Homo-oligomer: A and B are copies of this chain.
């Protein structure tokens, strides 16, 4: 993403706003397909909540369906024409279950279960709405969030319960290694992906031994994409952030390039200190600060509405100048914006709504 100050079309957009470099996005999509090396991608919508970005990911090829985090997102995706939707999450609230059923009336939809209550609720809503729902058994591969622990005696009974519930379709298992996505080196992440694959292979084999085959073994992310492919157990990788990237993934040498930045206006400048109009309502900072694209500018503080910048050397941005800040953490940052502004290779700017609800 190059400095955006030269384009009158960009200068007219109220700051702060997110700017997407479409050429870089497309290079990232092509690179993910190459790295997946025949394993399916199931791009994760939660990273950007923008159907236009997801369409770029799907258009790049190599995908089997799409992934999302919530039933509300599933409905948006189904209405936008995406199919074979995985909600990589447990769906529990009655309103969420109704949205899941609404999506399943249009396309194939799958959700996750790690306890009998999930199977009960999914079965009840499938019956109530006359739809079929796919189910993946969720396994805790080390993130210690949702999922059955590896080797749990509950796994086979849960599979049996899904298999005998009318309206549910047991598709296999998933285990998301979120704890490994930002490990510092590619080889750290490859080792973690091997561990994940070993756990999921053992669970897959236990299920097969009990008569429950797993056509789907889903997991992985942008950080573990290569390691997951090398480990050879996953049938699909749920990566999403690779499309646009962020500081966090850049810092651990994920093999993709930054395709998004937040354009802000400098509103105050006194000596080596400048202030821009992009704060915590434009850039999510729970894991760290954004990084300025200009090498002479450093973000030193973020408040609700302001980024405070240290400017080194003479010159640097004046009041009224645009400045580009790379988000530290993509997913909750895009969630702060109603739209992305996509810059095409020909220089034209297109508004892409963040329409994921």
Listed in ascending order, the chain A residues whose CB lies under 8 Å from chain B are 11-15, 46, 69-70, 72, 89-96, 114-115, 117-118, 121, 138, 140, 144-149, 178, 265-270, 273, 275, 277, 279-281, 284-286, 301-306, 308, 318-320, 329, 331-332, 335-336
Copies in the complex: 2
Known: A92-B319, A332-B280. A69 touches B305 (CB 8 A): yes
- Which of B14, B117, B145 interacts with A320 by CB under 8 Å? B117
- Nearest B residue to A284 via CB reads B280
List of B residues within 8 angstroms of A121 by Cβ: 320
- Which of B118, B138, B178, B303 interacts with A178 by CB under 8 Å? B303
Q: Are B304 and A69 in contact (CB under 8 A)?
A: yes
Known: A69-B305, A89-B267, A92-B319. A280 touches B146 (CB 8 A): no
| Chain B: minimal CB distance from A146 (Å) | 4
- Which of B93, B115, B148, B308 interacts with A14 by CB under 8 Å? B93
Q: Are B14 and A96 in contact (CB under 8 A)?
A: yes
- Which of B89, B304, B336 interacts with A336 by CB under 8 Å? B336
- Which of B92, B270, B275, B319 interacts with A118 by CB under 8 Å? B319
| Chain B: minimal CB distance from A111 (Å) | 11
Q: Are A280 and B275 in contact (CB under 8 A)?
A: no
- Which of B94, B144, B281, B318 interacts with A273 by CB under 8 Å? B144
| Chain B: minimal CB distance from A5 (Å) | 13
Rounded to whole angstroms, the CA-CA distance of A308 and B178 in the bound complex is: 13
24 contacting pairs across A/B (C-beta < 8 A): A11-B94, A12-B94, A14-B93, A14-B95, A69-B305, A92-B265, A92-B266, A92-B319, A93-B277, A96-B265, A96-B277, A115-B268, A117-B319, A118-B319, A144-B273, A145-B301, A145-B308, A146-B268, A146-B275, A149-B270, A279-B332, A280-B331, A281-B332, A286-B286
